[in-house]
Amino acid sequence: MNWKVSVNGTLLAFFILTSYGISAQSQQTKKLAASEAKNHIGEQATVCGKVASTRYAANTRGKPTFLNLDKPYPNQIFTALIWGENREKFGTPEEKYRDKQVCVTGKITEYRGAPEIVVSDPQSIELQR
């Protein structure tokens, strides 16, 4: 009798741990090079590259800050966009991230044929070493 309980308990633990592992894997995001982002529009991912150019468009509607990865504007491969309403959380992102290796996490969208992630939380941009 105790043997059956032990086996059932072991099986239950196995199924719980297995299902936890599956759900943990599904919550992880893909890690992509900036050049790969264009093939993943609409997906949640982490895009990594070097910030090749930055621009704070203070006089433009929405006051956007652009962080362009791998190649500078207008030939950027990928852009991380911070709207003015969230800018205060980042300090001066055009200075903080310029020429740095970063990884940006969020939903990849497309704007005028180029992939981008709109970033509203500083935790979505990770400085690499």
**105: pLDDT strictly greater than 80:** yes
For residues 104 and 1, which has the higher predicted lDDT (pLDDT)?
A: 104
Domain 29-127 adopts which CATH fold? OB fold (Dihydrolipoamide Acetyltransferase, E2P) (2.40.50)
Q: What are the pLDDT digits (tens) for 60-98? A: 999 999 999 999 999 999 999 999 999 999 999 999 999
**21: pLDDT strictly greater than 90:** no
| Half-sphere exposure of residue 100: CA atoms within 13 angstroms, side-chain side | 16
- 30-35 long-range contacts, CB within 8 A, separation 24+: 31/103, 34/69, 34/70, 34/77, 34/78, 35/70, 35/77, 35/78
Q: Of 49, 61, 58, 37, whose CA–CA distance to 97 is shortest? A: 49
Question: 129: pLDDT confidence band, cut at 50, 70 and 90?
Answer: confident
Q: Confirm if 122 and 92 have CB atoms less than 8 A apart.
A: no
Question: 10: pLDDT confidence band, cut at 50, 70 and 90?
Answer: very low
CA distance 80 to 47: 9
Tokens matching residue 89: 């959380």
- Cα 99–105–62 angle (5° rounding)? 75
pLDDT of residue 39: 98
CA distance 114 to 73: 11
pLDDT of residue 29: 80
Q: What separation in angstroms does the CA of 115 have from each of 18, 75, 98? A: 35, 12, 19
Q: What is the mean pLDDT of residues 11-38?
A: 62
Query: What is the domain partition of the chain in residue ranges?
Result: 29-127
Residue-averaged pLDDT of the chain: 86
Q: Confirm if 86 and 119 have CB atoms less than 8 A apart.
A: yes
